[in-house]
Structure 1
Amino acid sequence: MSRPPSRVSARRPSARTRRPRLLAFLVLALALATLLTSCATFPDTGPKTWRDKVEGGGPLANPPRIPDQPPDSQQPPPPPGENGQGGGPTGCVDPDPQVVATCLNPLSAVAVLPDAQSALVAERATGRVLRVQKGKDPQLIATVSVDAGGGGLIGLVLSPSYQEDQLLYAYAATPTDHRVVRIAVGDPPVPILTGIPRTPGNDSGALGVGRDGALLVATGADSPNPAPDSLAGKVLRIDTFGRPFRDNPNPRSPIYTSGLRAPGGMCTALDSGAAWVTDHLAERDVLQRAVPGPVGDPAWSWPDRPGVAGCIAPPGAIVVAERGASALYLLHSTAPGAFTGTPRSLLVGAYGRLGPAALAPDGLLWLGTVNKGGGGPVASSDDRAIRIQPPSAGGGGGPD
């Protein structure tokens, strides 16, 4: 077998020299359309290593408009670009049709609303939760009081019964701890689980929802082996009141999985119901499955440590956003922990550092960028919420 090519540089190409982003979307669409195509199978026999190829009503219906957010109409139009693709961003105007919202603070979470056309995004440092939709100004939904130095607003998910209760759940850092809070729009956030240890110098953590309706909280640890009863370095499994979820290993404890270090994202597979966590170890990045008890061998490993972040798990695949590599990483799966074909890096350098990721009810991908303060190039429209719209399966049209 020939040696795989090295990872493509993650630096942002200039507007004059980069290939149009449309090509990247076509590649992404082709990859997602062939998820079940296989040429070789890797059974779950141990750690895998990186290879590369290159709504109508409810409290959210009419939330207050975010203050000091100039509408797009007040921004100058973007300059014309080559091949009819438009130029680069000008101020907060970004001509890229995939960009939903601009000039945000770095995003830590994206939660897509049931209409699939809009989403809630969390700004890590400000604690703001904003509703974003293409062609509309971001709207302020809630503000969570956070300690930005301790991680800020780390995670955000819709309630497992959102259609009925219109509630949100957030994972946030305070000056004394990390905690899970419940958000009813118009009311102050209510803590439901407190006392999760802060991780000095680390803003790690993630929030997810299991297929059984459990809230899943991935927490970081400041040492490889925190105490077994510590809430640090764990996947916590709780109900919407913060109580231990049924069938936890210890019925009186929220602890479900132990052995995490610095989790960056969490997702639940639509087909199998398996919950996955991206994590950062001292020597590599890994993908772990949340299981009762200690984590086992990683399902996938990245020795080059690309900065794994948010993930999604549509049928037959796991897609991981990478901060450092500024890309999406696509794994084809045949069963939890079994992968097929050759993984691929997509959208390399197209938007810079990618953080949160979410799957919409219509199957499209929502992403958030974390370019501000990230040590890499920053566009005038950063940070951005992005909605990837691949062409239809029938082959007609491009991104709208």
Structure 2
Amino acid sequence: MAGVGGSTAGARTRLAGALLAGTLLGGAALTGCGGGYTPSGPFREIPQGQPPQVGPPPGSAPAPVPGQPSTPGTQQEQAAGDPNVVATDLDVPTGLVVLPDGTAVVGERDTGRLLQVFPDRSPARELMVLPVDTTGEGGLLGLALSPTFAEDGLLYAYVSTATDNRVVRFPIGGAPNPVLTGIPRGAVANGGGLAFGPDGTLYVGTGNTGDPALAADPASLAGKVLAVDVFGQPVGAGPVTSRGHRDVTALCAGLDDRVYATDEAATGPDALDAVRPDGDVGPAGARPVLEVPAEEGGLGGCAVSGAYVFLGALDGERVTIVQLDETGRPVEEPESFLDGRYGRLRSVAVDPAGALWVTTSNRDGAGEPAEDDDKVLRVTPPSSGATSPV
């Protein structure tokens, strides 16, 4: 079982290079991908309205091009507030995507609110509210940016209703339209992972709703990773790509076509799984890429940059960073980052400047919230030439 240890100077240098290369290529992939599906028939677009301009609040300066984020340092910096914190006073921010202009959209699990957050620490701007059912562990559980966002302005969300979990898509300010419905809904383990692969395939991570038998049932959408196109139609032989999961809280994809899933266990270690077509995970399936001990886990976020995977850990109150080799296996012991500094950490994303965006989750009923929780952070990940927060 892999533990969490410190990084060497060589590992930090490799991470810096991989972040720069991965995020620059990632930005190109974001605006240049649109394939990955073959429509089964004529598509009739449901009217969705025109998205409003996404920008800073009226009367403020345009959003700056993101640069290298600050790290805590001098007493003067601390007196002016923590420069890593770009938004405060949020309510369990769960979904997180970075827009092409360098700002981010954050979704609140319990309210369904979407807010735009700015790297210069301008006040967060409320964009819209999605209808969600928050009984049990339901709500707004995941966000993804359309691979052709520059052309269509669409976001995708994984949300709970009173009867199911589902994926919807919408322009900012527009009506949500269903993409994939009928995902089993339970009091626990509702999933919520969303990620687009480099080819435009939409991967959807679901939970077993507390019933392990559903995860093994090929006819159920529970406890699976599903692969669909942007209209919700199955990609390949069927929507089920990976089976046997307990609760897929997050998905992330690299430019090498590999897709990874965080699987939060009810007891024992959490897992980072490689999603393989027609694959099984769990005791009877493929070994995970990484197991994270329960006290360091509660995995709720996943982001890839080059050879590195960033994992947000709720119970561990940290970001775990693992470097993978060309076969997709860990190179060395994972690195622990931001340990205990901000409490429970959930969603993670990497922006085109190489900065790491992270949401806290201290108001989710299991944390000890500070007066200004929950927060969105934008921090410098460990790398040569940058001082990491401690």
Report if TM-score (shorter chain) is over 0.5. yes
The answer to whether the aligner puts 1:322 opposite 2:307 as a matched pair is no
Taking a change above 3 Å as real, the CA distance of residues 35 and 374 of structure 1, as seen in their structure-2 partners, is: same
Report the identity percentage.
Answer: 38
SS of 1:86's partner is helix
> Contact conserved, 1:29 with 1:390, CA < 8 A, in 2?
no
- Aligned match of 1:179: 166
TM-score of the pair, normalised by structure 1 = 0.75
The answer to whether the aligner puts 1:279 opposite 2:263 as a matched pair is yes
Which residue identity lines up with residue 89 of structure 2 in the other structure? Answer: C
Q: In the TM superposition, what whole-angstrom CA distance separates every residue of 1:104-137 from its partner, at most 9, and x where no partner exists?
A: 1111111001122x10001000001111103322
Which runs of structure 2 are paired with 1:40-119 in the superposition (5 Å)? 59-62=52-55, 83-87=75-79, 95-116=81-102, 118-119=103-104
For residues 106 and 8 of structure 2, what CA distance do their matches in structure 1 show? 23
For residues 388 and 325 of structure 2, what CA distance do their matches in structure 1 show? 29
Which residue identity lines up with residue 75 of structure 2 in the other structure? Answer: N
For residues 96 and 51 of structure 2, what CA distance do their matches in structure 1 show? 19
- Aligned match of 2:356: 365
Match for residue 346 of structure 1 among 337, 340, 358: 337
For residues 264 and 170 of structure 2, what CA distance do their matches in structure 1 show? 29
Q: In the TM superposition, what whole-angstrom CA distance separates every residue of 1:247-291 from its partner, at most 9, and x where no partner exists?
A: x2x2xx322211111112111123x22100010233221111111
> Contact conserved, 2:319 with 2:336, CA < 8 A, in 1?
yes
> Contact conserved, 2:85 with 2:121, CA < 8 A, in 1?
no
Gapped regions of structure 2 (runs ≥ 5):
18-49, 59-72
Higher helix share: 2
SS of 1:324's partner is coil
Gapped regions of structure 1 (runs ≥ 5):
9-23, 38-56, 66-80, 88-93
- Aligned match of 2:325: 334
Aligned residues: 331
TM-score of the pair, normalised by structure 2 = 0.77
Match for residue 378 of structure 2 among 367, 387, 390: 387
- Aligned match of 2:289: 299
Q: In the TM superposition, what whole-angstrom CA distance separates every residue of 1:297-339 from its partner, at most 9, and x where no partner exists?
A: 1111123352111011211211211100100111111124322
SS of 2:194's partner is strand
- Aligned match of 2:111: 126
- Aligned match of 1:145: 131
Higher Rg of the two aligned structures:
1
Taking a change above 3 Å as real, the CA distance of residues 328 and 396 of structure 1, as seen in their structure-2 partners, is: closer
> Contact conserved, 2:77 with 2:83, CA < 8 A, in 1?
no
Deviation at 1:142, TM superposition (A): 2.1
Deviation at 1:198, TM superposition (A): 0.6
- Aligned match of 1:34: 14
Deviation at 1:342, TM superposition (A): 2.2
> Contact conserved, 1:268 with 1:312, CA < 8 A, in 2?
yes
Which residue identity lines up with residue 167 of structure 1 in the other structure? Answer: L
Q: In the TM superposition, what whole-angstrom CA distance separates every residue of 1:157-215 from its partner, at most 9, and x where no partner exists?
A: 11111011010000000000000001122321111111100132334321111111111
> Contact conserved, 1:36 with 1:316, CA < 8 A, in 2?
no
